[in-house]
């Protein structure tokens, strides 16, 4: 057990709210193995949340909920692909405005532990890397590679222009900056780590730099001068810290109160290791809780793992965290709040009210267009071999590959390296589907004497975000197509990214069937007299993507564990609201409803 230091959240302090949280302007530093915030010896009790996973209108409420649980700082990833979706085209608006989020944290008395990457993991698409890096000639990821480091330097320079004026060195709320992320679990290249630290410094970041990794992995990535953060918060934290930074400060950079989830696997519920959290506090060890509030992988931003098979993450990033996906305190929230109150002798602010929720009565949807109606609007061209998403300069969504047979054809079609989910149509009729999770890559084809069109609609279900497969993340029909062992050439290709809302104008205006028997779009409306949250229930719709008032809520899939889709009330209108569903399966119902509670742990369908 480590000796208990004097805490700025101390039992000797009066039980008064002003003593709990710091206020701007901020100062921060390390002295004699201790953290000092605004001149006072401090343990950091951070809660992680990601502004990209939270509607901007709800940032303030989520920060207030962090404070009310007794945490005194916020950890936040910055996702490179979210900030620079295309080369040199940065987005700093709306949920992308990381500077606005940092300023809001500072205003609320919550200093920020910044985690800028360039790699994040975080169950986020490609671990935060932009898809277009795969098009950079000669690039090698997460190593001392000139093409790669040229891109990371450009990103850090742009990020520095947004954030360097918000650091504690000039009175701002950013108190630490992390260098890379869990690199020792990926590689062993100290010159690379030095290069990333240097690039961050050259971009204007000058607060204490932190490293975060498992204790055993620190041998691969620790470089002198970095604060050692040990992920997990286990009993050997002090031993690992002292090996590289004798005497501290001591911090567990990722303490896990919950865990992540994959499609087709049970939702993971945990009690959270509250007893260990209490021991860490009693021993004066700083803690960053990953995640305090997970939020949502809106759109197509979920990533994937790979063990012995491909494992895409679900749309919800609830994480079984203390604060739910929709910003509601859980039983776990109150357990941690009690631990902090009792062990630090502080009076915490009242817990704010959670955002209101509403139920929606079932409302009708009608078919308004087939997959072909949308895809045909964005022809990519004709190709001998099948191009990847990356070579088409498309990040996410769907790509349609069409091959025309002039006459009869039969045999086994093989799609080596198909990524990640394919719907197969012959002359517009659905004839099958292939799922990378299940190692499916072939089907039998029988084309009649008159020939016809073979359509293969491929969906990017999320690039791998962790492990050695990160560089091998191209999407689409990566290995081409074979018929009876021979390459099948000559393809017409169409892009269907379903990004933004412009494409919705191409849907039929009348609610009549398109006559398609393949994947199809449906539209409906519902009335609401309040802008309250709801949880849309696509039961009976199989698999697809759901949009509300132009906002992409993400994927749904009947295999579970997630069933309902979180629909933020701030994205609704009083009165008429429009819902569009891209149904990859033929629905068994033609209605949707809104529930007042989420369903994230429905039973998994056998065989999935």
Strands, E, within 384-451: which ranges? 398-405, 409-414, 418-419, 421-426, 429-435, 442-447
Spatial strand order of the sheet with 421-426 comes to 379-383, 491-496, 398-405, 452-459, 421-426, 429-435
Transcribe 88-155 into DSSP letters: TB---SGGG-HHHHHHHHHHTT--EEEE--S---TTBGGGG--GGGGGSTT--TTSS-HHHHHHHHHH
Helix (H) or strand (E) holding 60: helix 59-69
Which residue, 237, 249, 313, 241, is CA-closest to 273? 237
Which of 123, 125, 254, 459 is an active site residue? 254
Length of the chain: 608
Instruction: Kindly provide the b/e burial profile for residues 269-300, where b requires at least 16 CB atoms within 10 angstroms of the residue's own CB.
Output: eeebbeebbbbbbebbbbbbbbbbbbbbbbbb
- Reply yes or no on whether 584 is catalytic: no
- Reply yes or no on whether 597 is catalytic: no
Q: Give me the sign of the Cα torsion angle 424, 430, 436, 440.
A: negative
| Residue 133: alpha-carbon gap to chain centroid | 18
Which residue, 452, 554, 512, is CA-closest to 125? 554
Which residue, 98, 76, 95, is CA-closest to 161? 98
For residue 412, how many other CB atoms are within 10 A of its CB? 12
Helix (H) or strand (E) holding 361: strand 360-370
- Give the Cα separation of 445 and 425 in Å (integer): 10
Q: How far is CA 312 from CA 82, 191, 508, in A?
A: 19, 33, 32
Q: Cβ(418)–Cβ(335) under 8 Å? A: no
- Give the Cα separation of 553 and 59 in Å (integer): 18
Which of 108, 123, 125, 182 is an active site residue? 182
Joined together, the tokens standing for residue 169 give 């060195």
Q: Cβ(167)–Cβ(207) under 8 Å? A: yes
φ and ψ at residue 487, rounded to 5 degrees: -60, 135
User: Looking at the annotation, which residues are catalytic?
Assistant: 182, 254
């Amino acid at each position: 057990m480590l000796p208990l230091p004097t805490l700025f959240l101390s039992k000797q302090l009066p039980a008064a709210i002003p003593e709990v949280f710091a206020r701007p302007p901020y100062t921060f530093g390390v002295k004699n193995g201790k953290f000092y915030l605004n001149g006072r010896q401090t343990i950091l009790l951070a809660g992680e949340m990601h502004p990209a996973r939270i509607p901007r209108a709800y940032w303030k409420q989520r920060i207030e909920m962090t404070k009310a649980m007794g945490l005194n700082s916020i950890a936040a990833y910055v996702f490179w692909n979210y900030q620079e979706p295309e080369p040199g085209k940065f987005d700093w608006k709306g949920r992308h405005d990381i500077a606005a989020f940092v300023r809001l944290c500072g205003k609320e008395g919550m200093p920020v532990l910044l985690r800028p990457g360039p790699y994040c993991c975080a169950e986020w698409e490609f671990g935060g890397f932009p898809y277009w890096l795969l098009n950079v000639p000669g690039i090698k990821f997460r190593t001392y590679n000139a093409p790669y480091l040229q891109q990371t330097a450009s990103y850090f320079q742009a990020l520095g222009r947004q954030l360097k004026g918000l650091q504690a060195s000039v009175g701002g709320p950013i108190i630490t900056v992390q260098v890379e992320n869990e690199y020792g679990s990926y590689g062993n290249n100290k010159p690379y780590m030095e290069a990333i630290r240097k690039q961050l410094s050259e971009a204007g970041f000058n607060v204490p730099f932190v490293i975060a990794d498992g204790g055993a992995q620190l041998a691969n990535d620790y470089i002198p001068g970095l604060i050692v953060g040990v992920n997990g918060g286990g009993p050997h934290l002090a031993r690992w810290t002292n090996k590289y930074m004798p005497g501290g400060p001591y911090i567990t950079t990722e303490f896990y109160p919950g865990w992540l989830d994959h499609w087709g696997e049970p939702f993971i519920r945990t009690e959270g290791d509250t007893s260990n959290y209490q021991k860490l506090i009693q021993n004066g060890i700083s803690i960053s809780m990953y995640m305090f509030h997970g939020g949502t992988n809106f759109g197509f931003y979920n990533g994937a793992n790979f063990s012995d098979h491909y494992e895409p993450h679900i749309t919800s990033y609830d994480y079984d965290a203390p604060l739910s996906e929709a910003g509601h305190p859980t039983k776990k929230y109150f357990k941690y709040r009690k631990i902090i109150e009792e062990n630090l002798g502080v009076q915490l602010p009242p817990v704010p009210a959670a955002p209101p929720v509403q139920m929606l009565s079932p409302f009708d949807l009608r078919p308004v267009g087939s997959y072909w109606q949308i895809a045909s609007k964005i022809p990519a061209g004709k190709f001998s071999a099948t191009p990847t998403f990356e070579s088409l300069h498309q990040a996410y969504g769907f790509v349609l590959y069409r091959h025309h047979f002039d006459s009869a054809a039969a045999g086994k079609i093989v799609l080596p390296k198909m990524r990640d989910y394919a719907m197969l149509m012959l002359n517009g009729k659905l004839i099958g589907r292939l799922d990378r999770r299940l190692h499916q890559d072939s089907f039998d084809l029988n084309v009649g004497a008159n020939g016809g069109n073979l359509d293969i609609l491929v969906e990017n279900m999320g690039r791998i975000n962790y492990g050695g497969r990160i560089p091998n993340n191209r999407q689409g029909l990566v290995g081409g197509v074979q018929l009876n062992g021979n390459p099948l050439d000559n393809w017409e290709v169409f892009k269907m990214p379903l990004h933004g809302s412009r494409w919705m104008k191409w849907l039929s205006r009348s609610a009549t069937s398109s006559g398609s028997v393949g994947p199809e779009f449906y539209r409906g409306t519902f009335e609401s007299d309040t802008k309250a949250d709801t949880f849309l229930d696509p039961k009976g719709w199989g698999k697809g993507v759901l949009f509300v008032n132009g906002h992409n809520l993400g994927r749904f899939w009947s295999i579970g564990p997630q069933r309902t889709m979180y629909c933020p009330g701030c994205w609704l209108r009083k009165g008429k609201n429009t819902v569009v569903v891209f149904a990859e399966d033929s629905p068994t119902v033609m209605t949707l409803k809104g529930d007042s509670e989420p369903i994230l742990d429905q039973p998994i369908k056998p065989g999935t």
